[in-house]
With several copies, the nearest count.
Chain A
Amino acid sequence: MINVLYFAWLRERIGSSSEQIETQANTVADLVEELKTRSPAHALAFSDMASVRVAVDQDLTEMTASLQGVREVAFFPPMTGG
């Protein structure tokens, strides 16, 4: 069971800030492919992966990152703090 979080326009497009996902995905990229099948809103949110960043257990990482032992995956657009 992985806790998947969405922020900013990903959250708005998907219409949810988090969901618990039962998955066998090995990598973040695999998880994204699964998520895209959940609803048209998910498919739209993940349609332009160049605009999506990911953090695994609260550390920024790449889409190729492993999900082994991971509890939390967050998807969001490029950050605009400061």
Chain B
Amino acid sequence: MTIRVQSEAFDMGAETNAFSAAVAPAGAVVTFSGLVRDEGGTLTKMVVEHYPGMTERALATIRADAMARWSLVDAMIIHRYGPMVPGDQIMMVATAARHRADAFAAAEFLMDYLKSRAPFWKKEFGAHGERWVASKDEDEASLGRWALTNPPSSG
């Protein structure tokens, strides 16, 4: 399945192998995985909240946009919600293309949109109490780079 939203942990390596095995014409596979950082030992737990229903819709739209924009063989997104501890995989994306430039650009695009356009919210718990992670201005700014540039076709 190309979009999964789940509370259970997933095996990033096994998912990547399964994805790669199913994309025969592709010469290039790029993955990104987001891990819960330990923040120097001050972070003990992270909880990801999401908006069931809208989450799946938003991720499917982001994936479809990437598939339309670059020459991809496939793209997948897995995102967890619920409680996690440092070192846990929060999410991953994988893209497969004939050429590496497409696979890289599409993976970055998926991440940029997923950060700012998919309904997830992170709360951190640690030595200094709990706090909702603030969105970063630079994440919003990152979206701007996809507006006017043409998708790469070489690589």
Contacts and interface: CB of A to CB of B under 8 A. Distances in A.
A77 B53 contact: no
Contact of B119 (A9, A11, A55): A55
Interface string A48-82: 00000001001110000000000000101111111
Q: Tell me the interface secondary structure of chain B in the complex.
A: mixed
A48 to B, nearest CB: 13
Interface residues of A, number: 17
A81 B54 contact: no
Residue of B51, B53, B115 most packed against chain A (CB within 10 A):
B51
Top 8 A-B residue pairs of the complex, sorted by shortest distance between their CB atoms: A81-B120, A78-B135, A8-B121, A58-B54, A82-B115, A81-B118, A80-B133, A80-B122
9 contacts: A60-B58, A74-B51, A79-B116, A79-B121, A80-B135, A81-B50, A82-B90, A82-B115, A82-B118
